[in-house]
Amino acid sequence: MKNISRRDFLKGAAIGAAGLAVAGLTGCTTGTTGNTENGNENEAVSTKHSWEVKPAAITDIASTVDTEILVIGGGYAGCAAAAAAAEKGAQVILVEKDDKLHGNGVGGTGVMGSRILDEAGIKLDKVDAQKRWVKTCGGRCRESLVASFMRESEDAMNWLLDIAEPDGCGVLITQNHSNDPVHKEDQTYHMLFGGTTYDEVGMTVLTPHLLRKHAEKFGAQFVYNTAAEQLVQDETGKVTGAICKTEEGYVQYNASKGVVLATGDISYNAEMMEYFAPIGNETMMKLNGAATDTGDGHLMAAWAGAAFQEGPWPTMMHPQAAGMFSGAFLFVSPEGKRFMNEGTWVQGKCVGIMKQAKAKYAFSIFDKNFQQDVVNDLPYGGGMFWDSFRGLGTTYEDGAASMAETVATGLENDPNNYFQADTLEELAEKIGVDKETFLATCERYNSMVEQGEDTDFYKDTAFLHPLKEAPFYATRIGAGLLAVVGGVHVNDDYQCLTADDQPIEGLYAIGNVSGDMYAYDYPINVMGNSHGRCLVSGKHVGELLAAL
């Protein structure tokens, strides 16, 4: 057998993986060949990644089901698409791999306007928001797609409110947002709570279930324990359906209007994580509650000829894999050393821990006066994405009080992540850092606080608080991966595209499986925009397909 050099292979892969553009990345899994020209048996050569190798077509179909629109994946995005399409009169089936729908967190949805914001007299600046978004993405997201979010999200939120309010839902908007000039947040976050569905399913999956109920009211069917494995394409390449694995064997769903991929992210696909989002593997924990998010939609799209956006893909990370509270106090590494400017936003903290401290976690150190310190900090920093995630309330005092409550509850119930001591020496022992190093770090920090200038990292002086009065506290801060928000190349109608921007007929991608909306880093200025884009992309595609 001819020896295959790595160069030959890469050339072949570029041709073989039609349409797969993953520029800027290298590194393939290895395999073995038989005889080689130079006589080495089983010389290791690169083989293709799973997304580059289209599997043999599944042929043992147990049954066939016809519909107009097939939505694959029952998270926020899929449910939004199903609801929007069904409401417009289309025949919709949503297949979900798990035995339940998925959602995450408190379900806060970020949008650039709503009647709730109007009532509160809050006007958002789309020009500023778009600029910040694109800048965070290093100019590598597609600006027209971001602009469509700016344009469509207000209408989408008012549509969601029309669905949620009759169910008894109320809406919370944020007050303690960040005013930091660099890490500024807009008051975009809408948190639904209360009502009949909330009582049935709780907060994390509230919005998907509200949308499911709405979709079912218009005749949509939700089918569980049904995992799409392959797309069906006709001789022109048009996607006409999907083959799904069920307990009764393979079921082929034929969709006359279109197939919508809404399969979430790649959090639990080890090969894709290593290749597209390796930084996510450096976190302490993956926080995505859908362990079923194994990049299936990404794979199916690639096998159908779709391209991926360039890597590495952006990651959404919060420093909340251990304790929930960290503030902008002194951070020390597991060795007891300071390593970053702590007065920054959530992703900055995670990256700081992983890259500067080269650790999975660090500790935030503060003293008796921390609640008042937080009150003083909030006007300068603060905000949900500054991690005052538990900072509920309408005033800085409310926010600080709720954070103090988080610490008190942690000290009572979570001794691995919350610590209290009468002296800094004792605190060092409790958190397991080198005492001498830790005490030297605290002393240096206190001297800079006194001096009024952080000459080590130039943290804003507003966040310099002394460590003087007992009791002293530490919380463990762990970097957590919430989602990988990169994926399949799409146009502004979320239709999947080949590497040369040719739309694949019949195939759409929404929510985290879709790419191009983000790049390099996840923008935090529009708080909750991940859910926001699920809502916008789902509604957009649902309505578009229904109208076909």
Residues that bind ligand FAD (CB under 6 A): 72-78, 95-98, 102-106, 108, 110, 227-228, 262-264, 287-288, 290, 292-293, 296, 482-483, 511-512, 528-531, 534
Nearer to ligand FAD, 465 or 531 (CB): 531
Cβ 534 to ligand FAD shortest distance, Å? 5
Q: Which of 540, 525, 520 is nearest to 132 (CA)?
A: 525
Cβ 23 to ligand FAD shortest distance, Å? 24
Which residue type does 496 have? Answer: C
Nearer to ligand FAD, 22 or 206 (CB): 206
CA distances to 13, 31, 274, 302, 498 from 49, rounded to whole Å, are 9, 11, 11, 11, 18
Nearer to ligand FAD, 134 or 205 (CB): 205
Nearer to ligand FAD, 77 or 173 (CB): 77
Nearer to ligand FAD, 222 or 370 (CB): 222
Q: Which of 416, 108, 101 is nearest to 285 (CA)?
A: 416
Cβ 151 to ligand FAD shortest distance, Å? 18
The residues, any chain, with a CB within 8 Å of residue 32's CB and separated by 6 or more, are 42, 43, 44, 45
User: Residue 70 pairs with which residues in a beta bridge?
Assistant: 93, 259
| Cβ–Cβ under 8 Å, residues 308 and 487 | yes
SS3 call for 350: helix
Provide DSSP, 308-348. BPPSSPPEEEES-SS-S--TTSEEE-TTS---S--SS-HHH
Nearer to ligand FAD, 498 or 512 (CB): 512
Nearer to ligand FAD, 352 or 480 (CB): 480
Cβ 296 to ligand FAD shortest distance, Å? 3
Nearer to ligand FAD, 157 or 287 (CB): 287
**How is residue 199 written in tokens?**
């009582």
Cβ 75 to ligand FAD shortest distance, Å? 2
Cβ 308 to ligand FAD shortest distance, Å? 16
Residue in the block written with tokens 């069917």: 221
Q: Which of 99, 93, 65, 67 is nearest to 79 (CA)?
A: 93
Cβ 520 to ligand FAD shortest distance, Å? 17
Quick one: 451 exposed, middle or buried, by C-beta within 10 A (0-12, 13-18, 19+)? exposed
Cβ 65 to ligand FAD shortest distance, Å? 14
| Cβ–Cβ under 8 Å, residues 516 and 490 | yes
Nearer to ligand FAD, 294 or 344 (CB): 294
SS3 track for 216-269: HHCCCEEECCCEEEEEEECCCCCEEEEEEEECCEEEEEEEEEEEEECCCCCCCC
Cβ 345 to ligand FAD shortest distance, Å? 15
